[in-house]
């Protein structure tokens, strides 16, 4: 079981102090948050992708590469990578490079995002969002697994004899999560390829997320990747923790009330009762998170949102201390005791390499020589078969 935190990279006015951080302050702060996550014993840090104010993370691979250089154990990931408006060729290249630079300590979550104007900014039509997502991943999947790709689809120019470089580390594609809150076609695609499925599990009741997770598990088994219990599931969550329950409520309320995605609707108490949001003491957050296992069964990754809505850096770092020292150790122990031996382990690069090669050495692609035209020919690698 992996535990981590994610950020959507918002830059929001602190409703208590009235201050809005600069982009530079927020970027510097997110580095401190990621490093702190490793220090307190968490496994994963993920960043969202946005291309407009008031967000800063327009280049997730650049940010995550730097974080991987600042850490030793932390897995870096995304929440999410926009599979619709990014060219799948560039995703293949950029995330393979991140995989090399992090020595395999990475994966990525693919999604369509929630910012409608991003589609025309990148030359796409939002009305084609779902077909774009499905076709782009179908191509991305091949780019990471085939040295030479011939491809033709609806949404980008054809590829003839194309090789994505660098090849994935150890010739093993990065692990992919498909994220969705409402679309069964995305869960179907995740199951078809045997990839992970991630339910954001923040704004909706658990019963809503459970329907798609159950569907994904059923289809995962249908496609022959293993039993339903062996499907790979990740969940989001949102928590605010304080030593005393009432302090947590009092401290978090102004941020909840003014949050663009929460505020000016149901009260904090109503939202906490009706959704996975946890606000309270460490034990209360533990108890509510354990209800996720009651609903979904064994799952492989739990991610918490802890830094949005204008919360100052000092408060976020304190949240990480409480999460890493008082909440996650108990959750690890409790969930390990409940775990079915048949369930899949959490995805790692080492596990993927072992599954592909066993005890044999991993492939290390070596390009053929430049023919004089800056290409290596129709068979670009020395071990390519004729």
- Closest Cα to residue 196, out of 104, 78, 290? 78
Is residue 203 predicted with pLDDT exceeding 90?
no
Q: Please give the full DSSP string across 280-292, using - where no structure is assigned.
A: E-HHHHHHHHHHH
Tell whether 369 is covered by a domain. Answer: no
Tell whether 222 is covered by a domain. Answer: yes
Are 137 and 88 within 8 A, CB to CB? yes
Identify the pLDDT of residue 175: 98
- Closest Cα to residue 106, out of 79, 133, 84, 132? 79
Identify the pLDDT of residue 385: 63
Tell whether 379 is covered by a domain. Answer: no
Per the omega criterion (within 30 degrees of 0), is the bond before 80 cis? yes
Are 319 and 305 within 8 A, CB to CB? no
Give the CA radius of gyration of the chain: 21
**239: its two tokens:** 């928590």
**288: its two tokens:** 């509510």
Is residue 372 predicted with pLDDT exceeding 70?
yes
- Report CA-CA distances (Å) from 200 to 30, 130, 213, 236, 349: 20, 18, 11, 4, 23
Is residue 107 predicted with pLDDT exceeding 80?
yes
Identify the pLDDT of residue 113: 82
Mean pLDDT of the chain: 95
Question: If pLDDT is split at 50, 70 and 90, which confidence band does 4 have?
Answer: very high
Tell whether 378 is covered by a domain. Answer: no
The fraction of the chain above a pLDDT of 90, given in percent, is 91
> What integer is the mean pLDDT of 355-374?
93
Is residue 181 predicted with pLDDT exceeding 90?
no
Tens digit of each residue's pLDDT (9 = 90 or more) over 239-269: 999 999 999 999 999 999 998 887 678 999 9
Q: Please give the full DSSP string across 49-75, using - where no structure is assigned.
A: --SSTTB--S-HHHHHHHHHHH-SSPE
User: How many structural domains does the chain have?
Assistant: 1
Identify the pLDDT of residue 386: 44
Identify the pLDDT of residue 121: 93
The fraction of the chain above a pLDDT of 70, given in percent, is 99
Tell whether 65 is covered by a domain. Answer: yes
> What integer is the mean pLDDT of 330-349?
97
Tell whether 288 is covered by a domain. Answer: yes
> What integer is the mean pLDDT of 336-362?
97
> What integer is the mean pLDDT of 227-233?
97
Domain that holds residue 310: 2-357
- CATH code, domain carrying 253: 3.20.20.30
């Amino acid at each position: 079981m992996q535990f981590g935190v994610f950020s959507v990279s918002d830059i929001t006015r602190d409703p208590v102090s009235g201050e809005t951080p600069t982009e530079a302050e927020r970027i510097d702060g997110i580095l401190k948050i990621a490093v702190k996550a490793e220090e307190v014993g968490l496994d994963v840090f993920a960043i969202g992708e946005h291309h407009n104010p008031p967000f800063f993370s327009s280049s997730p691979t650049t940010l995550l590469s730097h974080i991987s250089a600042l850490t030793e154990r932390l897995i870096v990931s995304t929440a999410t990578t926009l599979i619709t408006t990014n060219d799948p060729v560039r995703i293949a290249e950029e995330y393979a490079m991140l995989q090399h630079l992090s020595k395999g300590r990475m994966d990525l979550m693919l999604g369509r995002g929630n910012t409608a104007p991003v589609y025309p900014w990148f030359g796409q039509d939002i009305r084609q969002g779902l077909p774009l997502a499905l076709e782009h991943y179908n191509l991305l999947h091949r780019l990471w697994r085939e040295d030479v790709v011939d491809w033709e689809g609806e949404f980008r120019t054809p590829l003839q004899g194309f090789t994505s470089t660098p090849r994935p580390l150890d010739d093993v594609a990065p692990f992919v999560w498909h994220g969705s809150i409402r679309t069964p076609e995305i869960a179907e695609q995740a199951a078809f390829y045997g990839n992970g499925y991630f339910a954001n599990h923040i704004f909706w009741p658990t019963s809503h997320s459970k329907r798609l997770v159950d569907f994904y598990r059923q289809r995962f088994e249908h496609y022959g990747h293993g039993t339903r219990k062996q499907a790979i599931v990740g969940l989001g969550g949102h928590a605010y923790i304080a030593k005393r329950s009432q302090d947590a409520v009092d401290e978090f309320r102004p941020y909840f009330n003014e949050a663009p995605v929460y505020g000016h609707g149901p009260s904090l108490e109503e939202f906490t009762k009706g959704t996975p949001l946890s606000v309270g003491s460490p034990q209360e957050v533990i108890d509510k998170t354990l209800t996720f296992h009651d609903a979904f069964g064994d799952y492989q990754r739990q991610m918490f949102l802890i830094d949005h809505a204008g919360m100052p850096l000092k408060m976020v770092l304190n949240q990480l201390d409480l999460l890493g020292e008082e909440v996650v150790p108990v959750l690890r122990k409790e969930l390990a005791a409940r775990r079915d031996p048949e369930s899949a382990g959490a995805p790692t690069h080492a596990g993927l390499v072992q599954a592909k090669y066993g005890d044999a050495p991993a492939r290390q692609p070596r390009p053929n020589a430049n023919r004089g035209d800056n290409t290596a020919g129709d068979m670009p690698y020395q071990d390519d078969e004729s």
